[in-house]
Structure 1
């Protein structure tokens, strides 16, 4: 903050100053995701079968219901309150656009809950980008050509951890490991050792 007020730094100098913070952020992200995944798997595998099913169901219901509630609230507010609405066509298009984006976000949530690969989920997640496209059409009354705006969906994988998918399948993996019984001791011990090692590394980073 002091440097920002009293010093006039170039972009290169700002990059040098931000470099230590960037390294710290990278190290924290490096250990945080595996730490969360192993903790969820261990926790789900050590509870009883009935309790683990109940916990997993509550986690899934919580994630899905909160997202649905947020999307539904956004749609209702945009339809009934219509912030910034006026009588022109542009405002009506904006309202329809917001509703469309909300549904796309909900669909992306479900897609990320079922990742194409758990390995890729550590590094990337699915995101749908919506672009406007001009489509030529004809007026049904006058028969004159007119341009209509349609929204096209372009889905792709973008950098960023897919935490939703990892947590969902960590819960499922923990449930399956818990069902194995005594035969899962070696796997659970391996996960515990990995979790403990990651915890130590996290303490070193934040020291």
Structure 2
């Protein structure tokens, strides 16, 4: 009975894992048929719909759950929990940045790539320093527009400004006593840093706003009961919508994996080019998920962090399977 009980309790997780395996097998097998671009687009379409569902539900779920979670607390507990949530999220974000920078510098995933890209945005991002990344993370904690934070976040980029022209006069005297004057012009590009808004939800900024909102909502007591009931209803409805979307996740994940394999020009060449990148990313994910985050959780709560990870198996697999760009 126990195996059957486990299967019934984790049926969606099991189906999702099977969908990943089926997606890989179908993608590798169907490559031999040389499908057209139109066919590949149709294969990817269910996966695109699944990602759109997740993006649609992400923002209301985050806002409603944070506000209701803190708004239902009483007294100083709301303030402590709100501060703890912000500190925890900011700490994990900074730790993730440090881990990623250390792994990139150690492994250098792009050093062996034979592909040369002319993408300007990639070149600008490559010149962004670690300091810029940390400062951007802090900037995003305090968005200047909460509506804009739902669709964009802040990033520092480095661009080439106007070239600096410099005229240098050099005088010299040869053995004949004749003076010579040389004019040397230097063209040194100026590297300009600027902070711009780029597409993508500013999660940490929204969390900050909702945490502060929830704390003060709990403090005004009965005067905020209408607002609290409103967000409680949004949270409950959104959770039901998420559950409905998750039952579509195996089909969407299988579609994404199959489509990616079919659209790759050469599995061997692509594998060779991406192997270091995959190693770097997986190493970062494992260090962050199994070492850094549990350690921080253990220090804060003094409880076993791996029980929480075990309960979040479905969410972890879904995030892993849908994390490709």
- TM-score normalized with structure 2 length: 0.51
Q: Is residue 204 from structure 1 mapped to residue 230 from structure 2 by the alignment?
A: no
Deviation at 1:28, TM superposition (A): 1.8
| 8 A contact 1:135–1:150 mirrored in 2 | yes
Partner of 1:154: 194
Number of residue pairs matched by the alignment: 191
Partner of 2:65: 39
Range with greater deviation from structure 2 (48-57 or 164-173): 48-57
Deviation sequence 1:39-68 (CA, Å, 0-9, x none): 010111112332222222222223333444
Secondary structure of the residue aligned to 1:118 is coil
Deviation at 1:151, TM superposition (A): 2.4
| 8 A contact 1:132–1:151 mirrored in 2 | yes
Change (3 A) 1:61 1:3: closer
Partner of 1:120: 148
Deviation at 1:131, TM superposition (A): 2.0
| 8 A contact 2:94–2:134 mirrored in 1 | yes
Partner of 2:36: 10
Q: Where do 5+ consecutive residues of structure 2 fail to align?
A: 1-23, 112-124, 171-182, 248-325
Partner of 1:87: none
Counterpart mapping for 1:1-207 below 5 A: 1=24, 2-4=26-28, 5-69=31-95, 74=101, 101-133=129-161, 135-136=163-164, 138=166, 144-207=184-247
Change (3 A) 1:128 1:100: closer
| 8 A contact 2:67–2:210 mirrored in 1 | yes
Cα distance between partner residues in 2 of 1:52 and 1:174: 8
Cα distance between partner residues in 2 of 1:140 and 1:52: 65
Task: Point out the structure with max Rg over C-alpha.
Answer: 2
CA RMSD between the two structures: 3.0
Range with greater deviation from structure 2 (3-12 or 171-180): 3-12
Deviation at 1:16, TM superposition (A): 1.3
Deviation at 1:125, TM superposition (A): 1.6
| 8 A contact 1:115–1:121 mirrored in 2 | yes
The structure 1 segments of at least 4 consecutive aligned residues displaced by more than 6 Å after TM superposition are 139-143
Deviation sequence 1:111-161 (CA, Å, 0-9, x none): 211222212211222222222446335598968433434421233222211
- TM-score normalized with structure 1 length: 0.77
Secondary structure of the residue aligned to 2:196 is strand
**Higher RCO (CA-CA < 8 Å; seq separation 6+):** 2
Partner of 1:94: none
Deviation at 1:192, TM superposition (A): 0.8
Cα distance between partner residues in 2 of 1:121 and 1:100: 22
